[in-house]
């Protein structure tokens, strides 16, 4: 699980496309802090510091200080450039240490099946919608598939989850299986819309948007 780390941010007094470009040219990323019925606050975040926190430390929650006031925030949305390489804009959502949040996390497969029986590895679920404590968001749900066998798929109900984590996908949904070529596709059931807000979504800014 990602640790809660401190992130240096600065208040941002100018907004708009030109101001955002200047912010990024200075090595900063424009962002917004909002939520908990408080006024939104425009901020700028050091690009290298945020990139390291996300890619290396896998952080999702941070402690920031805006105007001398410390707050705990969750990444609600992270926008990338059209190539998906550089961060473009970030939205932070205020949270309490005791609060539970709804997020999307990846499913990571570990190992390889000892015997495939002629089947091909298939993973219908690459991500899971979960609810968990705001300060204990798992980096991923990891699944050992060493003993996976043909005809015995692993379902959501069979996952070993970190303490305090609730999954919204249907218990009978198949996470991973060995499938014979040409076999019928499994039916996947999810609880649509259950995991708002999702985080770390890669969304290209639309033409004409402010940031």
In a shared domain, residues 75 and 130: no
Q: What is the DSSP letter of 13?
A: -
Is 199 part of any domain? no
In a shared domain, residues 24 and 88: yes
In a shared domain, residues 67 and 142: no
In a shared domain, residues 28 and 69: yes
Last residue of a domain, one of 71, 95, 119: 95
**Residue closest to 33 by CA, chosen among 55, 79, 64:** 64
CB 1 within 8 A of CB 138: yes
In a shared domain, residues 71 and 119: no
> 207 falls in which pLDDT band (50, 70, 90)?
very low
CA angle 206, 208, 211 (to 5 degrees): 75
Is residue 205 scored above 60 in pLDDT? no
Show the domain range for 63: 5-95
In a shared domain, residues 88 and 152: no
Is 41 part of any domain? yes
CA dist., res. 157 & res. 118, Å (int) = 26
Neighbouring CB atoms inside 10 A of 173's CB total 20
Per-residue pLDDT tens over the stretch 165-204: 999 999 999 999 999 887 665 554 444 444 444 444 434 4
Last residue of a domain, one of 60, 95, 130: 95
In a shared domain, residues 52 and 115: no
In a shared domain, residues 64 and 136: no
Domain containing 153 — which CATH number?
A: 2.170.120.20
Domain containing 91 — which CATH number?
A: 2.40.240.10
In a shared domain, residues 82 and 143: no
Write down the pTM of the prediction.
0.72
* Domains: count for the chain: 2
Is 73 part of any domain? yes
Average pLDDT over all residues of the chain = 85
Per-residue pLDDT tens over the stretch 131-175: 999 988 998 999 999 999 999 999 999 999 999 999 999 999 999
């Amino acid at each position: 699980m990602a640790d809660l780390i401190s992130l240096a941010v600065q208040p941002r007094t100018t907004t708009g496309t030109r101001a955002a470009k200047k912010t990024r040219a200075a090595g900063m990323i424009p962002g917004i802090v909002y939520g908990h019925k408080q006024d939104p606050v425009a901020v700028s975040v050091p690009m290298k510091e945020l990139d390291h926190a996300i890619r290396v430390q896998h952080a999702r929650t941070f402690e920031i200080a805006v105007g001398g006031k410390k707050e705990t925030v969750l990444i609600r949305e992270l926008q990338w450039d059209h190539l998906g390489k550089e961060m473009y804009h970030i939205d932070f959502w205020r949270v309490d240490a005791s609060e539970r949040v709804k997020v999307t996390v990846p499913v990571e497969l570990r190992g390889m099946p000892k015997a495939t029986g002629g089947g091909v590895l298939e993973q219908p679920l690459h991500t899971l919608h979960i609810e968990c404590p705001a300060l204990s968001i798992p980096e991923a749900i990891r699944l050992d598939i060493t003993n996976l066998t043909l005809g015995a798929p692993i379902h959501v109900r069979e996952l070993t989850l970190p303490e305090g984590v609730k999954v919204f996908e249907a218990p009978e949904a198949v996470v991973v299986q060995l499938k014979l070529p040409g076999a019928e596709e499994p039916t996947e059931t999810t609880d649509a819309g259950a995991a708002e807000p999702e985080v770390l979504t890669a969304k290209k800014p639309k033409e004409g948007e402010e940031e």
